[in-house]
Amino acid sequence: MSYSDYARAFMRQNPDVLMIGEVRDEATTQIALRAAQMGHVVLTTLHTRDAPSAIARLITLGAETSLIASAMLGILSQRLLRRVCTHCAEPDRPDPKVMARLPNIPKDAGFLRGRGCAHCLKSGYRGQVGVFELMHFDDDLRTKSLGGVDVKWADDVTFDRLYDDAIAKAARGVTSLEEVLRVVPLPREAS
Ligand SMILES: [Zn+2]
């Protein structure tokens, strides 16, 4: 059985919630969207750069923009950042030139970096922390997302970006500024 065969078989059970591990082909995309339109809560994952790009990805998988806009409840994007090692953390003084380019840095920011020790195998990092951005689909976002593949429409949408969550966690010393710059896409105004 293919992935979409399984999804079709599950649909016959009339589930309240359908969890599809990953949408990666046209057949599964169609089933996921049809199920969502019929009132089932569908949870699934996609590999994309950020939350708005999930719309573009679904369109390249053959979904109609209007169907996506009407069926979507929300998109949560996440990435993992390394945590600063608590055994060797020390205050970090980032380059002012770098800081000047970065928006939304909290005023009371206390950046930390790991010096490197036996606990973190000299890397300065130990463990990981998730950073998130959530696009909740209300009427406004439904209309704007009809903009489709060119996700410039997302510039006009207010939501907490991956960058904002990441910079807030770096400002509390959970992760380092260097790690944020390595992993998280910068807001358009900073790049
Ligand atoms: Zn350490």
Q: What is the DSSP letter of 148?
A: T
pLDDT at residue number 14: 87
Q: Say how many Å lie between the CA of residue 121 and the centre of ligand 1.
A: 7
- Taking residue 154's Cβ as centre, other Cβ atoms within 10 Å add up to 21
Q: Say how many Å lie between the CA of residue 176 and the centre of ligand 1.
A: 13
Residue 48: C-alpha distances to residues 8, 53, 101, 171 (Å): 25, 6, 25, 26
Residue 118 pLDDT > 90, yes or no?
A: yes
Q: Say how many Å lie between the CA of residue 105 and the centre of ligand 1.
A: 25
Q: 32-36, 120-124, 143-147: which has the highest mean pLDDT?
A: 120-124
Split at pLDDT 50, 70, 90, the class of 190 is: low
Q: Say how many Å lie between the CA of residue 7 and the centre of ligand 1.
A: 46
SS3 content of the chain, % helix, strand, coil (to 5): 40, 20, 40
Q: Say how many Å lie between the CA of residue 31 and the centre of ligand 1.
A: 48
Domain 46-190, CATH homologous superfamily name and number: P-loop containing nucleotide triphosphate hydrolases (3.40.50.300)
Residue 69 pLDDT > 80, yes or no?
A: yes
Strands (DSSP E) contained in 112-177 are 112-114, 125-136
Q: Say how many Å lie between the CA of residue 81 and the centre of ligand 1.
A: 16
Query: What tokens does 27 get?
Result: 């057949």
pLDDT at residue number 100: 87
Q: 9-13, 61-65, 67-71, 81-85: which has the highest mean pLDDT?
A: 81-85
Q: Say how many Å lie between the CA of residue 84 and the centre of ligand 1.
A: 8
pLDDT at residue number 145: 80
Mean pLDDT (the chain) is 90
pLDDT at residue number 9: 85
d(C-alpha 72, C-alpha 42), whole Å: 9
Q: Say how many Å lie between the CA of residue 122 and the centre of ligand 1.
A: 6
Split at pLDDT 50, 70, 90, the class of 182 is: very high
Between 114 and 97, the more confident residue is 114
Q: Say how many Å lie between the CA of residue 164 and the centre of ligand 1.
A: 26
d(C-alpha 107, C-alpha 105), whole Å: 6
Q: Which of these, 169, 171, 185, lies nearest to 82 by C-alpha position?
A: 169
